[in-house]
Chains A and B, each alone.
Chain A
């Protein structure tokens, strides 16, 4: 149900009239159906589950996560504080 893994689309093609793709997961390649995410482009990250792409990785939204984190006081203190004093 939840086991979704992100991978990068390397090739898009059709098989028997259904949109398929090759997706690369750090050296492992799998054929993934894009019927549920027809807007996916080569080079984009998709979330894959049961041989299908669930959704595209949202770059802008990924930054949203960091924004939420930045809101948090202690997070600022611990995380950015460490970073400043660390490397």
Chain B
């Protein structure tokens, strides 16, 4: 993105990076689970400013990348139904399923539309009473309040042609899964600032304690990221394992209670498949019984054929930080942003696409 860094921000970032360099005495692995943070780190080349001992691992923070193959295929099948207007956030359009992607579905005549808000989908439903409007509910907790509010509003308006394909995922269960894994290499986490703006950070304290893994709630500007990394390194060097808030201008301990109440009213935690990783218990959100009418996977009862992932794609290892994209044999050759084999090459801040775009020289 063309620059928005003011001199103040540059100064702060450099000063924070200096401090990180000053206090780092050992190698540390720090993971972020947030696509926006991955994107920012790549965009500003922040890893180039860190001391060699600090290794940033890009975790499964891109909800587009972790949406299961099954859900992508279901989306394709629903979109192909006559009379359906299938709406989605833009970056889902090129995620490959087994039979193609939403982009190619559109080329074949499906009515697939990019929306910026679930409210846009709801407005489409109001404007097109003869069509079924389906919204692909992808995203972490940041996006859920918007979806919950839209469902509540649809219920209030008595809309019978609006539904969602539930695909939302939660961060804390992913952290558990990563930290519980025998080959875990993560020493500290940068917690996603906007997820925490909604949820607060009380959920992370027991995780930090249980796994002795420090965390810093972190924003997205270079100075915010540098601060988050510094807070983690400081804790690691001092042997502490707490949750520190590096983004207090938007994040409080309790979070946004109104938003949380809406989410709790409409959704409940369900088991969810994370593409490339596998099943993580209670890591997704499904609709509560009273709102089942808005569940597109029930409204459109479709049997899915045999699902097949690319054999070459090592997305799972990349998403868990076990392999770097450049270590994948297909990286940059068979698998490129124009011809992605797996989800992390599609989304701009999927680790593979980001690496391809920003680090090709190295």
> Which residue numbers of A lie inside 8 Å of B, CB to CB?
1-4, 16-18, 33, 35-39, 47, 49-52, 54-55, 57-58, 61-62, 64-65, 68-69, 72-75, 78-79, 82
B22 contact from A49, A50, A74, Cβ within 8 A: A74
Q: What residue of chain A has the Cβ atom nearest to residue B120's Cβ?
A: A51
Assess A79 versus B12: contact at CB under 8 Å? Given A1-B195, A61-B249, A61-B252.
Answer: yes
Interface residue? B102 (CB, 8 A):
no
The listed residue (A47, A58, A69) touching B227 by CB distance below 8 A is A69
5 A–B contacts, CB within 8 A, in A order: A1-B142, A16-B157, A35-B152, A64-B248, A75-B19
Interface size of B by CB at 8 A reads 55
Given contacts A54-B250, A61-B252, A47 and B194 within 8 Å (CB-CB): yes
Check A33 against B146 for contact (C-beta < 8 Å): yes
A32 to B231, CA, bound (A): 33
Q: How far is the CA of A35 from the CA of B146 in the complex (A)?
A: 9
A49-B143 contact given A2-B220, A64-B248, CB 8 Å threshold: yes
- Bound-state Cα–Cα, A3 to B251, Å: 15
Complex CA gap A62/B11 in Å reads 18
Please pick, from B36, B157, B231, B259, the residue contacting A1 in the complex, using a CB distance under 8 A.
B36
Would you give the 0/1 interface string for B14-25, flagging 1 where the beta carbon is closer than 8 Å to chain A?
111011001000
Q: Which of B11-43 contact A (CB under 8 A)?
A: 11-12, 14-16, 18-19, 22, 34-37
- With a CB–CB cut-off of 8 A, which chain B residues contact A49? 142-143, 146, 194
A-facing mask of B114-131, CB < 8 A → 1, else 0? 001111100000000000
Chain A residues touching B, majority SS: mixed
Chain B residues within an 8 Å CB radius of A33 = 117, 119, 146, 149
- Verify B12–A2 contact, CB threshold 8 A: no
B78 near A: Cβ within 8 Å? no
Residues of A with C-beta under 8 A to B145: 36, 52, 54
Residue of B nearest to A38 (CB): B258
In the complex, A52→B198 CA distance in Å? 12
Q: In the complex, are the beta carbons of B249 and A64 less than 8 A apart?
A: yes
Contact in complex: B248, A51 (CB < 8 Å): no
- Provide the residues of chain A in CB contact with B258, threshold 8 Å: 36-39
